[in-house]
A and B are shown apart, each in its own frame.
Chain A
Amino acid sequence: MPISLTLGPLMFNWSPERWRDFYARIADEAPVERVCIGEVVCSKRLPFIVDLFAAAVERLQRAGKSVLMSSLALPTLMRERRQIDELIAVPGVMIEINDLSAVPQLGGRPFAVSPLINVYNEGTLAFLKRCGAVLACLPPEMPLSAIAALAPLAAGVTLEAWAFGRVPLAISARCYHARVRGLAKDSCQFVCGDDPDGLPVDTLDGERFLAVNGVQTMSHTYADLTGDAAALIAAGVSSFRLSPHSCDMVEVARIFREAAEGRCGPAEARRRLAAELPAAQFSNGFLHGKPGWRQLAAAE
């Protein structure tokens, strides 16, 4: 099966200008098959970017990429629940669900399942396939052993692994960015926009631990599965998800493209990634059934 790359939805609150320029460059230069756009984390950010969607979709499609519109992770307000209607209205796109409430609203249309949906086993995957799922990015905490057990039973649903970027670990109704800044969520002043890759959370002993992104909590480490790409492909994974960060995502996509196709070895891939992100700590512990933050030798 040919290997594909998916650029996941931008998790962070970037300015509209930065957002527009980012997707323009992705459309023109990034060697990825699919691009997810949309706001997953906080509906308060949507008004700033929603008017940019149509042009971005058109440019990405013209460049030959499939576009997925990603829904909100935790819709509770009425306007949040109606968001799906707006996403469905965009022509030629597929919806990526980040909450199950989207499924009935899709009315049987094909859809993708985000890593924030709990697909841990063949029973759930089969059920979602009956509902219309055609692609599932698996929960980042799933070990390779479970992925290998699931893949033969995927029955035609494309399986994707969270391969690059800070890992989304939790979602809450509480906004930690606002809380850290002494603000209420309702009058947050959009302070999450100050941290284009999330706000680091360190332990009292100075260990780098987590990052907060509004209502979302992420890993401090950046997942990097370049070294495990061959094992994942052997297990039956056929797509890799790259999560946007402020580094050069076109170069990140090139590295993963070459790694997935065996044109760039794990050591070389790591060297190139580290050059893009000199301060980052990388991890693949989840895949090996170890603490997620750890960096282990690549899976065989």
Chain B
Amino acid sequence: MTNGRIELVCPAGTPAALRAAVEAGADAVYCGFADETNARNFPGLNFSRAEMADSIAHAHRRGAKVMIAVNTFPRAGSPALWHQAIDDVAQLGADAAIVADMGLLDYAAGTHPALRLHLSVQAAAANPDAINFYVERFGVKRVVLPRVLTVAEIAAINREISCETEVFVFGGLCVMAEGRCSLSSYATSRSPNMNGVCSPPSHVSYAEKNGELVSRLGEFTINRAPRGTPMPYPTLCKGRFRAGGVTGHIFEDPASLDASELIPQLAAAGVTAFKIEGRQRSRSYTDAVVRAFSAALDAQARGAAIPVGMLAALSEGGSTTRGAYQKTWR
């Protein structure tokens, strides 16, 4: 927490986005190296070592932190790429490494005992026993909570654990427990855990059929829409399917998470930091979202009301959800 304000942790896919986030009021920025060590391994995204060094210097000059996600699961027999990434996080002077894999946490804690470790949401630590295990074994200082918990459950967790918590408040919503999902590789062979990608663009195709636009992932239809209507990106779990005589969004609507109205409740639940999803997003998106949340957190710190619906225009398809933070979502 900075000056009584909840820490705002913002995404950056590029050095330009990192600068934009810092300008817009981010307390911390998270980013990754340009390889498969991070879970947003998209072409044209992420940082070279030199860019990372410059970006850390820039952020530190402005009083912001930089956290580096090394949050995929190392490939058996070739851990060197991941170990090097951890070594570089320490050597570059980043403020924390965000890690999911137990073996990599073990390496980081053993090799760089001074390196601050955050537990990635990909580790799916969803209860106090699991979180405390990571704290005791690896000295984890903060856990990014899975997006499957209610506000009440988050409060209960905070009462029982000995590290900080960080929760997602805005952006793309995983409906499944992160780090425990192979839906993408089932359709495309490429997965978040092994490749740092979900429903990758390389496997997306669009076709016209009977006057409708059809979006496909690999060999499967994810959605159809009449020509001229918006077609969301075919993320597998947000498609429309048929099950038990029902046609629709069987898993999740293509809505994005917006927990801005829950800021007071999440603060009361003892959360240390709020995280915005979207390292793949544009600089202008990052700028707008970070400014809005920064203003909201300032208001929260002053005890003023949080502006309502401030981010609706930035959401996927315009619709938002409070996700699992509300129990009825289940």
Contact with A along B217-228 (1 / 0, CB 8 A): 011111110000
Could you say which residues of chain A place their CB within 8 Å of the CB of B264? none
Of the candidates B107, B175, B179, B220, which one forms a contact with A209 in the assembled complex, judged by CB atoms under 8 Å apart? B220
Contact with A along B108-148 (1 / 0, CB 8 A): 00000000000000000111111011101000000000001
Could you say which residues of chain A place their CB within 8 Å of the CB of B107? 123
Asked if B74 and A123 make an inter-chain contact with CB atoms under 8 angstroms apart, the answer reads yes
Asked if B247 and A204 make an inter-chain contact with CB atoms under 8 angstroms apart, the answer reads yes
Contact with A along B194-232 (1 / 0, CB 8 A): 100000000000000000001000111111100000000
Chain B interface (Cβ < 8 Å from any Cβ of A): 73-79, 100-104, 106-107, 125-130, 132-134, 136, 148-149, 153, 175-177, 179-183, 185-189, 191, 193-194, 214, 218-224, 237, 239-244, 246-247, 250-252, 324, 327-330
Cβ of B4 to closest chain A Cβ, rounded Å:
30
Q: Say whether, besides A120-B74, A122-B77, A123-B102, A74 and B219 are in contact (CB < 8 Å).
A: no
Asked if A201 and B250 make an inter-chain contact with CB atoms under 8 angstroms apart, the answer reads yes
Cβ of B196 to closest chain A Cβ, rounded Å:
13
Asked if B130 and A101 make an inter-chain contact with CB atoms under 8 angstroms apart, the answer reads yes
Could you say which residues of chain A place their CB within 8 Å of the CB of B224? 204-205
Could you say which residues of chain A place their CB within 8 Å of the CB of B185? 141, 286, 291-292
Within 81-132 of A, Cβ neighbours of B (below 8 Å) are at 81, 99-105, 116, 118, 120-128
Could you pull out 16 A-B pairs where Cβ atoms are within 8 angstroms? A101-B125, A121-B76, A121-B103, A123-B74, A123-B106, A128-B102, A140-B182, A141-B186, A149-B77, A172-B175, A176-B250, A201-B243, A204-B247, A217-B176, A292-B182, A293-B187
Shortest Cβ distance from B149 into A: residue:
A76
Asked if A121 and B75 make an inter-chain contact with CB atoms under 8 angstroms apart, the answer reads yes
Tell me the count of chain A residues lying within 8 A, CB to CB, of chain B.
68
Asked if B127 and A292 make an inter-chain contact with CB atoms under 8 angstroms apart, the answer reads no
Asked if B330 and A173 make an inter-chain contact with CB atoms under 8 angstroms apart, the answer reads yes
Shortest Cβ distance from A130 into B: residue:
B106
Could you say which residues of chain B place their CB within 8 Å of the CB of A74? 126, 148, 177
Asked if A291 and B103 make an inter-chain contact with CB atoms under 8 angstroms apart, the answer reads no
Asked if A100 and B125 make an inter-chain contact with CB atoms under 8 angstroms apart, the answer reads yes
12 additional A-B residue pairs with CB within 8 Å, beyond A146-B77, A293-B187: A75-B129, A81-B128, A100-B134, A120-B73, A121-B73, A123-B103, A146-B76, A172-B175, A202-B242, A204-B240, A210-B241, A291-B218
Contact with B along A164-205 (1 / 0, CB 8 A): 000101111111100111001110000000000001111111
A237 to B189 CA separation, bound complex (whole angstroms)? 22
Asked if B101 and A170 make an inter-chain contact with CB atoms under 8 angstroms apart, the answer reads no
Could you say which residues of chain B place their CB within 8 Å of the CB of A121? 73-77, 79, 101, 103
A42 to B330 CA separation, bound complex (whole angstroms)? 13
Determine if A269 is an interface residue (Cβ-Cβ < 8 Å).
Answer: no
Query: Which of B78, B188, B220, B221 counts the most A-chain CB atoms under 10 A from its CB?
Result: B220
Of the candidates A100, A180, A186, which one forms a contact with B246 in the assembled complex, judged by CB atoms under 8 Å apart? A180
A80 to B128 CA separation, bound complex (whole angstroms)? 12
Asked if A203 and B133 make an inter-chain contact with CB atoms under 8 angstroms apart, the answer reads no
A205 to B239 CA separation, bound complex (whole angstroms)? 12
Asked if B177 and A170 make an inter-chain contact with CB atoms under 8 angstroms apart, the answer reads yes
Contact with B along A275-300 (1 / 0, CB 8 A): 00000000001100111110000000
Asked if A122 and B79 make an inter-chain contact with CB atoms under 8 angstroms apart, the answer reads yes
A210 to B181 CA separation, bound complex (whole angstroms)? 13
Of the candidates B126, B179, B241, which one forms a contact with A118 in the assembled complex, judged by CB atoms under 8 Å apart? B179
Asked if B242 and A149 make an inter-chain contact with CB atoms under 8 angstroms apart, the answer reads no
Query: Which of A100, A105, A122, A176 counts the most B-chain CB atoms under 10 A from its CB?
Result: A100
Determine if A212 is an interface residue (Cβ-Cβ < 8 Å).
Answer: yes
A167 to B180 CA separation, bound complex (whole angstroms)? 13
A204 to B186 CA separation, bound complex (whole angstroms)? 18
Could you say which residues of chain B place their CB within 8 Å of the CB of A205? 214, 221, 224
Determine if A150 is an interface residue (Cβ-Cβ < 8 Å).
Answer: yes
